[in-house]
Amino acid sequence: MSRPKNYQKIEEMDRVIARLFARNGYHSTSIREIARELGMTQSSLYYYYKSKEEMLFRLINEAVDESLATVEGISFSDLAPEEKLKQVLGFYTRYYAGDQEREILLLNEINSLSPEHRTILTEKQRHYVRLFYGILRELTEQKKMKPINHTVATFAFFGMVHYTVKWYHTDGSIGLGALADMFVEIFTRGIFAD
């Protein structure tokens, strides 16, 4: 079943807004500029969004929800922990390196949100960490992981992926799939027991 046209319009609007916020910064992007870029009036824009902050929150929150659903599905599957880890690493790399505008917003603009919205996103980020820890714990229990601190391993991986916004270009010589494969190889060789 196809999605309604209105949904497609909102998705396109979100892409434009994400690009503007990522390029110019949330505080430096005005509602007037967003409306102009979308070819709309400011009042028309408020038909779709309650406020500028709601735009930012929705952009970040939807990206986090979408990726979290996939990571949960992998984490709670019957796969062996090594395979769970490889799938989570590969997916997370492709997802965030592939949508760098929303990644920039997640990294740089989360503090522009109200405390209420930040709390929602912080709890979801903690859930990511718990899922990742769960896989590392399974590996440790099965003696398939080197004696590496789980916190260090978790944030080493997240840092590796999130830093791609500084150097990775989706139109460069390394495709998203190849990048994900390389990150999986680098990370798993570093933590898997021989």
Over residues 159-182, the pLDDT tens digits come to 999 899 889 998 999 999 999 999
Residue carrying the six token digits 């990522």: 22
- Lowest average pLDDT, out of 74-88, 119-133, 154-168, goes to 154-168
Contact between 136 and 150 (Cβ < 8 Å): yes
Q: How confident is the model at residue 80 (pLDDT cuts 50, 70, 90)?
A: very high
Query: What's the whole-number mean pLDDT along residues 71-95?
Result: 96
Looking at the domain assignment, is residue 5 inside a domain?
Answer: no
Please state the pTM of the whole predicted model. Answer: 0.87
Looking at the domain assignment, is residue 45 inside a domain?
Answer: no
Domain span at 109: 52-191
Query: What's the whole-number mean pLDDT along residues 147-153?
Result: 94
DSSP 8-state assignment for residue 36: H
Looking at the domain assignment, is residue 3 inside a domain?
Answer: no
Looking at the domain assignment, is residue 4 inside a domain?
Answer: no
Contact between 154 and 177 (Cβ < 8 Å): no
Looking at the domain assignment, is residue 113 inside a domain?
Answer: yes
Looking at the domain assignment, is residue 127 inside a domain?
Answer: yes
Looking at the domain assignment, is residue 1 inside a domain?
Answer: no
CATH number at residue 152: 1.10.357.10
Domain count, the chain: 1
